[in-house]
Amino acid sequence: MNHAQRLRQTIEDEIVDGVLPPGTRLDEVQLAERFGVSRTPIREALLQLAMTGLIEMKPRRGAVVSTPDPTQLLEMFETMAELEAACARLAARRLTPQHQAELVAALEACRAAAETGDASAYYAENTVFHAVIYRASRNGFLCEQATQLSRRLAPFRRVQLRVRNRLAQSFAEHEAAVEAILAGDGALAAERMRAHVIVQGDRFSDLILSLRRDNAAA
């Protein structure tokens, strides 16, 4: 991994972790000073991130952490829901003892985090939970695609968890999905995971309003 790739990974992690929220301007000079490098590797790292869709290169503003328009964001969540439904369906059919143990442990970690009411702690455990289901599908290509889109949507999934009562609701949805996976019911597991991930109606309205508040405060 060269210098630009390491910088790209660091900046990407900060976007995914919410340190750099949607709408944040990424100034090349400030980033170069922060990391103690010239602007060349910073520029290369930002171009790499632009290719993933995590940031946009805008005229006169430079690099900005992406905030997709509502239609695109809805389409991305629809795609994510289908990928995760497929993972859950395959996991229900192919669950190994090791993946079962990991899934149960991840669910209990989500329970503990939800009980604290700490959205950041819950988000961290939520990420682990979903990753276990991806791996449990035992389909490497599907796991890779789900992981990539999950990282692309990470800033928006994080914002969702700040909505009132969403932690308890999310955990209840986790429990229902795990119940179906452990029972070996692939169709039900897919249905429950799809419903858990997709955002529509009030949930989508809440997400858009939260993003607008964050951008206004930035």
- pLDDT by residue for the chain (218 residues), tens digit each? 577 888 988 998 888 777 888 889 999 999 999 999 999 999 999 998 898 888 999 887 789 998 888 888 889 999 999 999 999 999 999 999 999 999 999 999 999 999 999 988 999 999 999 999 999 999 999 999 999 999 888 888 887 887 778 899 999 999 999 999 999 999 999 999 999 998 876 777 777 777 666 655 55
Q: Give CATH for domain 70-217.
A: 1.20.120.530
8 A C-beta contact, residue 9 and residue 49: no
- The predicted pLDDT at position 214 comes to 61
DSSP structure string for 45-87: HHHHHHHHTSEEEETTTEEEE----HHHHHHHHHHHHHHHHHH
CATH 1.10.10.10 spans which residues of the chain? Answer: 3-65
8 A C-beta contact, residue 56 and residue 66: yes
- The predicted pLDDT at position 52 comes to 81
Round to whole Å and give the CA distance between 137 and 117.
30
> Quick one: how far is CA 26 from the chain centroid?
21
- The predicted pLDDT at position 150 comes to 92
Return the closest-CA partner of residue 205 out of 78, 105, 74, 113.
74
Helices 70-94 and 119-136 cross at an angle (nearest 10°) of 50
H/E stretch holding 202 reads helix 201-217
Round to whole Å and give the CA distance between 43 and 89.
41
* SS3 call for 129: helix
**CA dihedral of 36, 39, 40, 44, whole degrees rounded to 10:** 100
- The predicted pLDDT at position 1 comes to 55
CATH 1.20.120.530 spans which residues of the chain? Answer: 70-217
- The predicted pLDDT at position 216 comes to 55
- The predicted pLDDT at position 164 comes to 77
Return the closest-CA partner of residue 48 out of 21, 16, 8, 14.
8
3-65: which CATH topology? Arc Repressor Mutant, subunit A (1.10.10)
